[in-house]
Amino acid sequence: MKLTYALTAFGLAIATPLPALAATIQAVMYKNPQCSCCEAYAAYLEQNGFKVAIKPVNNLSQISSDAGVPADLEGCHTMMVDGYVVDGLVPVDIVKKLLTERPAITGITLGGMPAGAPGMGGEKSETWTVYAFTKDGKAPTVYATE
């Protein structure tokens, strides 16, 4: 009798898809060691289907530049996710939009550290503009606002 239950449970386990595991989005975040909002942003992403590996670095500006992020639009970290660069505290719905639409860009950025952004304290008091950028240095374009 116990064997029957064990085999039935085993059969159900095999037949049940694992959407939660399949939906996990892997990301690598490069951040300044002193910045604490980045960990809060990573936790926010992980609550929304991401697995974020955090890599503290002392040359974030160089990493951002090498990734194509315009210097005047750099955020507090640079993240690599599924072939794209996501710089700054970009809301998760916009990151998922990027990964679904898969435009021919290098990445997106929400420059600075705006109050109320994911990972930051405070109240949101303005519309955020998330810019798309390309590696070839063309002028950034508006990708989304929130």
> Would you state the structure tokens that stand for residue 121, as one six-digit string?
């304290």
Q: Is residue 6 part of a domain?
A: no
* Number of domains into which the chain is organized: 1
Evaluate whether residue 8 is within a structural domain.
no
41: its two tokens: 């942003």
Whether 10 is in a domain gets the answer no
For position 138, what pLDDT does the model report? 80
For residue 139, being part of any structural domain is answered with yes
Here the tokens at position 91 are: 């809301």
Condensed to tens digits (0 to 9), the pLDDT of residues 45-57 reads 999 999 999 999 9
**Listed residue (75, 35, 38, 76) closest to 54, CA to CA:** 38
In a domain, 116, yes or no: yes
| Residues 55-74 pLDDT 10s | 999 999 999 999 999 999 99
Assess if residue 93 is contained within a domain: yes
Q: What is the pTM of this model?
A: 0.83
11 domain residue, yes or no: no
Q: Residue 1 falls within a domain, yes or no?
A: no
Domain that holds residue 28: 18-145
CATH number at residue 87: 3.40.30
Q: Hey, is 127 helix, strand or coil?
A: coil
Give per-residue pLDDT as tens, 112-125.
999 999 999 899 99
